[in-house]
Chain A
Amino acid sequence: MPGPLRLQGISASAGYAEGPLFRLDRTALHYTVKATAADEKAALEAAIGMATGRLGALIETADSEAAGILEFQIAMLEDDALSGPAFAAIDADQPADAAWRRALDAEIAGYETSDQDYFRARAADLRDIRDQVLRALSEDDESAAPAGAIFYGEDIAPTRFLETDWSSGGGIALKAGSAASHVAMLARSRGVPMVVGLGASPANPVGVALLDAEHGGIVLAPSKAEIEAFRRSSSSFAARRDKAETYLARPAVTKVGTAVRVQVNIADPSDVDGIDIATCDGVGLMRTEFLFGKTLPDEETQYRAYRKVLEWAGEKPVTIRTVDAGGDKPVPGFTVEEGNPFLGLRGIRLSLARPEILRVQIRALLRAGIHGNLKVMFPMIAVADEYARAAALLTEEQTGLAARGVAHKMPPLGIMVEVPSVAIAPEAFADVAFFSIGSNDLTQYVMAAARDNASVAHLNSVRHPAVLRLIASVVAFGRERKIPVSLCGDAGGDPASIPALLEAGLRDLSVAPAQLAMAKAAIADVTV
C-alpha cells in the first residue's frame, strides 16, 4: 500500500473537495466497422446529428456563459468544413471513427501550436467535439462518475463539466489543462474547485483524494490525519470566502488602520481578463515561464504578452520577473538535467549561462515598457555580480534599440530575495530599485525542506522564526535604505501567515487573484 502522495499544480478555481477519484482517461470506445462506405458515411452523419442534438438539449438549461460555449460547439459541428475531410477519408476506405478522429486531430493540432494562449485553450473544445461524436458512433455508454467525485486526468471536456451535477461537491484535478480554458472559466463562475498542471502521477491512483484548489494541490491516498486537517482547512475556507467577498472592492487596511498594498501574481496574460484592476494595487509578480512552456517564445510574442498586462494595469505597477526556469520548472531546449535541480542551474544562473535567450526577453520588456508602469526583477539572485551582469544586459540591449530607433523605456530593476545569502547580507544590493521576497524558495532553502516533498511538508513553514527573522531584517534594511520591499510567495495570500508577515514589517503583499478577497479580509483582522 503506497503512502500519501502530494502533487502540486496551479489553482484554476479556488476551493476544497474531498471525494473518490474518477479517472477521465480510461474510456475505451468500441466501434463496429460497417459494410460499405455509404454505411460509414451514414453512421458518421447520424453521430454528428446525435452530438448536435445533445448539445442543443444542454443549452436549454445552460446560463448565458455556458450557452455561448455550447453554441460555439454546435456551430463547429454544423460546419461542413469540419466534417468534409472525414467524409473524404471514408471515400478512401477508412472507417468512420478513424476518419473522424484523424480529421479532428489535424484541426486540433492547428490550435495546439498557436502562440496565443486563448487559441491553445480552444484545442480542448475541439477535443470535446471530437469525443462527443466518437461516443455517439460507439455503442458503449460512458460510465457515470459517482456524486462528489474528483475528476482526474489529462484534461476535461466542457460538455463533461456541464453534464455533471456539482451540487453534491466534487472537483477537477488535471495533469495538463489550462487556467484559460473554458472549463476553468466555468469552474470559477460556479465555484467548482479546480487545479491544473499537476504533471504525471507516478502511480495509478484510486480511492479518495483531497483536492486543495486554494493552494493548487492534491493529496492521493491520504492518511487519517491529513483528512482531518483537510476538513478543518476546507470549512475555514468556506467561512472566510463568504466573509471575504465584502472586502474585495475596498483598499486593504488592518484593524488599526494601517494601509497594506495588495497586488496580484499572474502567470499568463489572460489571467487579468477576470480581474477588476480596481480591486488590486497592481501586479506584484508576473511569471514568464508560461511563455516558455513548449517552445522558446520570440520577441514579438513576449512583447504582446507584456504589453497586454501593462495596458490592463494602466498607471498601476506591473512587476515582471525574467524567466525562472529550472528547479521544478524544466523547459525543453533550455534547462539542463541535474541531480539536484533546486540547487543547480536555475533562475538567473541559467539565464546568464544562456544570455541569448535572456536578451530576447529583455528587448521585449524594454519595448513593452512604454505601455505602462513596468518594473523588472531577476529570480534566484545569490551574489551582487549576478545582478550587475543582468542589469548590464539591459543597458546593452537598450543601446541597441536606441541605435535602431525602436521605442523603448528602461524600467526600474529589482531582485527576488529567495536565496538566503541575499536575505542575510542584503547590503551587497543597496543599489537595486526594489526587493521582492520569494517566500516559497526562501523557506525551502532556510529549512532545507523541498516544497514538493510531502514527507518534509511539516518543516516547510514560512512561520518558522528563522524565516520570519530573515524577512524582518530585509524589511528593516529596505526601510533604512529607502528600498521598497514586497513579498510575492504563496504565504502572502495565506490568511494563516498574513499576521506574522505584517508583524515582520511587510506592507506590500502580492497574492494569487483567487486569494485577493481572502487576503484583504485577513489583513483587516490584524492589529498592526
Chain B
Amino acid sequence: MSASAEATVLITHEVGLHARPSVKFTKLAKTFAAEVEVALAANGPWFDAKSIVKVMAAKAPKGTLLHIRAKGDGAGEAVVALAELVRRDFDESGDHARTA
C-alpha cells in the first residue's frame, strides 16, 4: 500500500522552524516510517523532514505557511502529528525569549 497525505500549517513560533523547534520537528518525523517532506511553497522545493540540516536550510521564519507531505506507511498520521506540533508552537508557547 502506498498512502499519501498533505497539510499546510502556519508557523507562529517567534524564531520560526529553527534550532530547538527544528530538533523537535525532525525527531518526531523520524518516528514515522513514511517518507516525509516539507516546503515553503506548494510547488516546492521539498526538503527531507527527517534531516535537521535540510529543515534548517529551508529557513522558515515566523509567519511562513509550511507545507508538509508524506508518502508510505503511516503517511496520514505523520502529517497530522507534525502539523499539530507546529500548531502547538512546538510546545514552547510563552517561552520565546529563551528558546532561540
Q: Which residues of A approach B to under 8 Å, CB–CB?
A: 65, 68-69, 71-72, 75-76, 79-82, 107, 110, 114, 116, 118-119, 122, 125, 180, 182, 185, 189, 270, 273-274
Is B26's CB under 8 angstroms from A273's CB? no
Are B52 and A116 touching (Cβ within 8 A)? no
B20 CB → nearest A CB, Å: 5
Task: Determine the distance from Cα of A65 to Cα of B97 in the docked complex, in whole angstroms.
Answer: 11
What 1/0 mask marks residues of chain B from 25 to 49 whose CB sits below 8 Å from any chain A CB?
0110000000000000000000010
Closest to B98 in A: A65
Please pick, from A81, A116, A122, A180, the residue contacting B19 in the complex, using a CB distance under 8 A. Answer: A122
21 sampled A-B residue pairs with Cβ under 8 A? A68-B20, A71-B20, A71-B23, A72-B23, A75-B52, A79-B53, A82-B53, A107-B57, A116-B61, A118-B15, A119-B59, A122-B18, A122-B56, A180-B100, A185-B98, A189-B98, A273-B14, A273-B96, A273-B97, A273-B100, A274-B97
Q: Is the CB of A119 within 8 A of B18?
A: yes
Nearest chain B CB to A455's CB is how many angstroms away? 40
9 nearest A-B pairs in the assembled complex, by CB-CB distance: A81-B53, A81-B51, A68-B20, A75-B52, A79-B53, A82-B53, A75-B23, A72-B19, A273-B97
Q: How far is the CB of B19 from chain A (nearest CB, A)?
A: 5
Nearest-neighbour CB distance to chain B for A281, whole angstroms, equals 19
Residue of A nearest to B63 (CB): A304
Tell whether, in the assembled complex, residue B100 and residue A182 are in contact, meaning their CB atoms are under 8 Å apart.
Answer: yes
Asked if residues B18 and A118 are in contact (CB atoms below 8 Å), the reply is yes
CB of B99 closer than 8 Å to a CB of A = yes
**Would B18 and A76 count as touching, CB distance under 8 A?**
no
The distance in angstroms between the C-alpha atoms of A107 and B51, with both chains bound, is: 14
Select from chain A the residue with minimum beta-carbon distance to B48.
A81
A122 contacts which chain B residues (CB < 8 A)? 18-19, 56
Note all chain A residues with C-beta closer than 8 A to B96.
Answer: 273
Closest to B96 in A: A273
Give the shortest distance, in Å, between B61 (CB) and chain A (any CB). Answer: 6
Q: Mark B1-20, 1 if CB is under 8 A from A, else 0.
A: 00000000000001110111
Q: Is B54 an interface residue (CB 8 A)?
A: yes
The residue in chain A whose Cβ has the minimal distance to the Cβ of B62 is A308
Give Cα A331–Cα B48 distance, bound, in whole angstroms. 38
CB within 8 A of A75: which of B18, B27, B97? Answer: B27
Neighbouring A residues of B18 by C-beta, 8 Å: 118-119, 122
> A118 and B16: CB pair below 8 A?
yes
Chain B contacts of A274 at CB under 8 A? 97
Q: Which residues of A contact B97 (CB under 8 A)?
A: 273-274
On whether A72 and B20 interact (CB within 8 A), knowing A182-B100, A185-B100, the answer reads: yes
A180–B22 Cα distance when bound, in Å, is 18
CB distance from A348 to the nearest CB of B (A): 32
Instruction: Pick from A75, A76, A107, A118: contact of B100, CB below 8 A.
Output: A118
Q: Within residues 54 to 100 of chain B, which ones have a CB less than 8 A from any CB in chain A?
A: 54, 56-57, 59, 61, 96-100
CA of A268 to CA of B92, assembled, Å: 23
With a 10 A CB-CB cut-off, give which of B23, B48, B56, B57 has the most chain A CB atoms. Answer: B56
CB distance from A452 to the nearest CB of B (A): 31
CB neighbours (8 Å) of B54 from chain A are 81
- CB neighbours (8 Å) of B57 from chain A are 107, 110
Instruction: Decide: B26 and A75 in contact? CB cutoff 8 A.
Output: yes
Q: How far is the CB of B40 from chain A (nearest CB, A)?
A: 13
Query: Shortest beta-carbon distance, A435 to chain B, in Å?
Result: 32
CA distance A386 to B87 in the complex (A): 49
Q: Knowing A116-B59, A273-B97 are in contact, say whether A79-B52 is a contact too (CB < 8 A).
A: yes
Residue among B48, B97, B99, B100 with most chain A CB within 10 A: B100
Residues of B within 8 A of A119 (CB): 18, 59
Taking A68-B99, A114-B59, A180-B100 as known contacts, 8 extra A-B pairs with beta carbons closer than 8 A to each other, sorted by chain A number, are A71-B20, A72-B19, A72-B22, A75-B52, A81-B54, A122-B56, A182-B100, A273-B100
- CB B80 to nearest CB in A, in angstroms, measures 23
CB neighbours (8 Å) of B100 from chain A are 118, 180, 182, 185, 270, 273
CB of A126, distance to nearest CB on chain B (Å): 9
Determine the residue in chain B with the shortest Cβ distance to A78: B52
Closest Cβ of chain B to A280, distance in Å, is 15
Closest to B92 in A: A68
Q: Known A116-B61, A118-B16; judge A107-B98 contact (CB<8 A).
A: no
Q: How far is the CB of B93 from chain A (nearest CB, A)?
A: 14
The distance in angstroms between the C-alpha atoms of A72 and B56, with both chains bound, is 11
Instruction: Give CA–CA (A65, B48) in the complex, Å.
Output: 27
Q: What's the nearest-Cβ distance from chain B to residue A72, in Å?
A: 5
A114 to B52, CA, bound (A): 17
A65 to B95, CA, bound (A): 11
- In the assembled complex, the CB of B2 is this many whole angstroms from the nearest CB of chain A, namely 25
Q: Are B52 and A76 in contact (CB under 8 A)?
A: yes
CA distance A221 to B16 in the complex (A): 44
Q: How far apart are the CA atoms of A80 and B26 in the complex, in Å?
A: 13
Q: In the assembly, what is the distance between CA of A317 and CA of B74, in Å?
A: 50
* B contact residues around A71 at 8 Å (CB): 20, 23
Cα A68 to Cα B96 in complex, Å, equals 13
Taking a contact as CB atoms under 8 Å apart, the answer to whether A68 and B14 are in contact is no
What residues of B have a CB within 8 angstroms of the CB of A76 in the complex? 52-53, 56
Complex contact B61–A68 (CB within 8 A): no
Which residue of the partner chain B has the closest CB to A114? B59
Minimal Cβ-Cβ distance residue in B for A116: B61
